[in-house]
Structure 1
């Protein structure tokens, strides 16, 4: 009888222990261990991060509640040897097994990149690689590599015409070359047969349209004026008159604080000086927006060949067909600059 009681007691204890261990193991795998306050949290696993870095990063950011169970499940599922970089979204209430499956599969979420208001390659490289794992300097290096650019039909002067300011989705792990290729593909999609035919009608290539659009954009912040300005510069190109666009001088000088273009500025030796050189400069002076490009393609037909900012500093311009009228308009603006003591 005594042996029987001992057996029953041992059986009960074993059953309790088995149940406890089963419950504990179930909790380790299927219980909620991602206990973040927000509905989901983005976490970046960097190139070169090992499992210890990932676990510590999660724990330090209060993403995982129990690092021991997370480590055990990761070890059991082989994740410790399969860490993949990327940006991942972890949902609140996620179990260890669900989190590890996602991380092990490299099931990362796309990120958004946005770039606009760009003049220089360094600015583009910084903005376009934001939210990715790309080193901005690595991307800028591609923008200055003639051998690499030749495959895309551009050079170091006009490469910026490939990039259309917008918001795009990519993965954090995208490589610099892959991102460049994606932008080239977006550029190709943008230049539909209709746009290409409109460019041909004004005797310009898509690259030249973008170069002209960059000047048009720099000349006016008013979208409704840009087709007029585009028509003005097309008139000058067709009549072989130098563009004489002040923004190209500012770009050539590399001093974007200049508010008043002086005669001394017009003497700068640069292929971007459209006072000394006829035709378009070798590349854009900024990244023109899609609307600016379309303003060139859908330019307004007229006889204007001169323009000058209005003296009320409204951002609008006065347009003229003759030099006599232009000089009158320019005198009004020069006086307004003097009155405001803007001498540079």
Structure 2
């Protein structure tokens, strides 16, 4: 009897120990890891084993716990032998189970980069150069070399990258992002051109892209884009010069100081639509989908001119005749002078 009781007691103790260990294991699996810093992430290199990953976590100050539990949990979750390379987010509250599941499924950390509507190629390249952790392969390339690297030698880069937000992962390069943005613009432009309104004075999708870039730079007010496009389409149809300031500014390049002078309007460049007829030779910015839609579906009407209201709304006054337009310009200048006087130091309130 004493032997049986002894064996029974041993079994009970063993079961109790196993139960205790199981409870500890379960708590380990679903307890947030301690020591995770702000904005922390884990980089898993190709071929890294689980012990190597745990060493990386420890080096980052994370309390990983018993390696045996990690091995058991990896088998339980199906992550053993299936850990994928990449960068993984480590937000506060990350548990071992969640981390192993993410590495098993390849749920790598995705970062975002936004191309802003109206940026030109200089703006885009400068913004890309400031993105940390992105591989900068385009550094040192001029625009011609850049387009060759993207697989489009001889093409001007302006306007060729669709303004949108693009996700990227560690290991991607600026060229990877630009390839995706180029493909997105190519698709959006083709769709807009295919569905264009009849009778447009545009000979190709590329000309629609040029017009869309001008519309993009002329207004940020969504409901004005088709009206602005309508004005330019009617001017093209009538053989009038476009006379749009953003093209002149683009032609000045880095010489533009923020103040467009009268001498700039009469100084001829390939982009000066005051001195040259038709569209400029390339786009002048990156137009968004709304501007592409406006350029290929301009609003009907009879307006041939527009000028800013000047009240800070970004809206414009549209005119059918030069006399109406001159009156609108006069009102704009009068409002501008009043604003400057009100903002001048020492001006008495009225």
Partner of 2:249: 250
2:85 corresponds to which residue? Answer: 84
Whole-angstrom CA distance in 2 between matches of 1:142 and 1:20: 66
Question: Distance between the aligned counterparts of 1:314 and 1:101, measured in 2?
Answer: 50
Matched, 1:16 2:19: no
1:222-251 CA deviation, whole Å, 9 max, x = no partner? 323222221221223334433221122333
Kept in 1, the 8 Å contact 2:129–2:139? The answer is: no
Provide the residue aligned with 2:32 in structure 1.
Answer: 35
1:121 aligns with 2:121: yes
Task: Give the match's secondary structure for 1:340.
Answer: helix
* TM-score normalised to structure 1 length: 0.70
Does the 8 Å contact 1:215/1:284 carry over to 2?
Answer: yes
Structure 2 residues without counterparts, runs of 5 or longer: 342-350
Classify 1:94/1:315 alpha carbon distance in 2 versus 1 (closer, same or farther; 3 Å): closer
The whole-number CA distance in structure 2 between the counterparts of 1:316 and 1:272 is 24
Residues 52-201 of structure 1: pairs in structure 2 closer than 5 A? 52-57=55-60, 59=62, 66-69=63-66, 73=70, 84-88=85-89, 94-96=95-97, 99-108=99-108, 113-121=113-121, 123-124=123-124, 133-135=133-135, 137-138=136-137, 144=143, 145-151=146-152, 155-158=155-158, 160-163=159-162, 165-168=163-166, 171=169, 174-191=172-189, 195-198=193-196, 201=199
Deviations 1:95-120 (CA, angstroms, capped at 9, x unpaired): 44x63353255333655554324523
Equivalent pairs, count: 324
CA change 1:93–1:261 in 2 (3 A) is closer
Query: CA separation of 1:270/1:79 partners in 2, compared to 1, >3 Å: closer, same or farther?
Result: farther
- The answer as to whether partners of 2:241 and 2:276 remain within 8 angstroms in 1 is yes
- Contact map agreement 1:122 1:140 (CA 8 A) in 2: no
Does the CA contact (< 8 Å) of 2:133 and 2:170 recur in 1? yes
Q: Check conservation: 1:235, 1:305, Cα contact below 8 A.
A: yes
Give how far 1:262 is off: 2.4
CA RMSD of aligned residues (A): 4.5
* Residues 131 and 262 of structure 1: CA distance in aligned 2, closer, same or farther (over 3 Å): closer
Cα displacement (A) at 1:337: 2.6
* TM-score of the aligned structures, taking structure 2 as reference length: 0.69
* Structure 2 Cα separation of the partners of residues 70 and 127 of structure 1: 43
The 2-side partners of 1:337 and 1:246 are apart by 18
Kept in 2, the 8 Å contact 1:42–1:87? The answer is: no
Cα distance in 1, alignment partners of residues 277 and 315 from structure 2:
26
Distance 2:11 2:170 in 1: 50
Structure 1 unaligned runs (5+)? 60-65
Cα deviation, residue 73, structure 1: 2.1
Q: Distance in 2 between matches of 1:161 and 1:31?
A: 51
Displacement of 1:319: 3.0
| Secondary structure of residue in 1 paired with 2:155 | coil
The question of whether the paired residues in 2 share the 8 Å contact of 1:230 and 1:299 is answered with yes
CA distance in 1, matches of 2:297, 2:263: 35
> CA 1:188/1:219 → structure 2, altered by over 3 Å: closer, same or farther?
closer
Q: Which residue of 2 aligns with 1:63?
A: none
Counterparts of 2:121 and 2:58, CA distance in 1? 38
CA contact (8 A) 2:39 2:90 kept: yes
| Alignment-derived partner of residue 347 in structure 2 | none
Are residues 310 and 131 of structure 1, via their aligned partners in 2, closer, same or farther at CA, if it must alter by over 3 Å?
A: closer
